[in-house]
Amino acid sequence: MNASLNRLVGTRIERSEAAYSSADTMLYALSLGFGDEPLDTRQLRFVYEEGLHALPTLPLVLGWQGIWMPCAARALDYPQMLHAEERLQLHRPLPPAGIVRDEVWLDALVDRGAGRGVFIHTRKELFSENDGLHLATVRSCVLARGDGGHGGGGEPPSPLQPTPARAPDHVATRRTLAQQALLYRLNGDSNPVHGAPATAALAGFDRPLLHGRCTLGLALREALAQLCDYTADDITDVRTRFAAPFFPGETLRVNLWQDGRAIAFSADVVERGLTVLSHGRIDLRA
């Protein structure tokens, strides 16, 4: 890792504007599997232009999408970078189309030592360009596995809370598409580890893996279906830890716990008996 990255802690590293259309909003929902039951009119609100609603996790794919994009020239070991955690705070529901401005800050570096990796914490603030309203805050943590040893700085967010020890209240299982990552990357996350077998091999995987944010979106879909009757505007916070890679075509089992206006969740890959999402939580508006 280039030691000069340390000097950027606490500074804004990106500022941009992005327009998104109703087609982009529908594509995002389709890439998460919404609309696979044509007679379920509750899902149509996310994939059909009449009465269209934006999913609460849409801010994850609007504007800047990952630390690897601006830091390619800063000597980070790009193929070794993996998403570690995601936290989304929604300040108000997003319109189904519009223009957004994003400002991205490098909040913290947590160095695990030379060759052991460094956690890179960034924060994206998303605003409506037309009226300046604050739409969302996205806090992302990426583990640069091939870097470390240059020290850290800044203040990382507080640790995520684990899911309850008791049995889940609801369990939902869904098989993903073999082309799920290729479909999801059309939302703008073109990291080749999700599409190119050669890049996946450089990262230590035998095939391209699914985006962590896509796995999170798949889990959110099950929470909406099981506990929210597909009503998404009540969601104010979503957060999770990406515990292990998930591959397109595998079966995702989502475990849900409800406690009043809070939903805890985790997700496992059925074929390998491995947890891929942990420390998940969704907060609903009071």
Strand duo 134-144 + 251-259: pairing: unpaired
Backbone φ, ψ for residue 88 (5° rounding): -125, 125
- Structural domain boundaries of the chain? 3-284
Residues above pLDDT 70, as percent of the chain: 93
Is the Cβ–Cβ distance between 277 and 267 less than 8 Å? yes
Amino acid present at 185: R
For the cut 90, the answer to whether the pLDDT of residue 198 exceeds it is yes
Q: Give, in order, the Cα–Cα distances in Å from 60 to each of 17, 139, 145, 187, 226.
A: 14, 10, 22, 10, 23
Smallest CA-to-CA distance from 276 within 246, 237, 238 is with 246
Query: Which residue, chain included where needed, has tokens 């597909």?
Result: 230
Give the DSSP H/E element, type plus range, for residue 258.
strand 251-259
Is the Cβ–Cβ distance between 125 and 134 less than 8 Å? yes
Catalytic residues: 189, 194
**What is the predicted pLDDT for the residue at 70?**
47
CA angle, residues 207, 266, 42, in degrees to nearest 5: 95
Q: Which has the minimum average pLDDT: 8-12, 84-88, 204-208?
A: 8-12
- Average pLDDT (220-239) is 95
Q: Output the average pLDDT for the chain.
A: 91
- Average pLDDT (221-227) is 96
Q: What is the pTM of this model?
A: 0.93
Q: 32 or 14: which carries more pLDDT confidence?
A: 32
**What is the predicted pLDDT for the residue at 43?**
95
pLDDT band at 69 (very low <50, low <70, confident <90, very high): very low
Structure tokens at 227: 């506990």
Domain with residues 3-284, CATH architecture: Roll (3.10)
Q: What 3-state class would DSSP assign to 126?
A: strand
Backbone φ, ψ for residue 180 (5° rounding): -60, -40
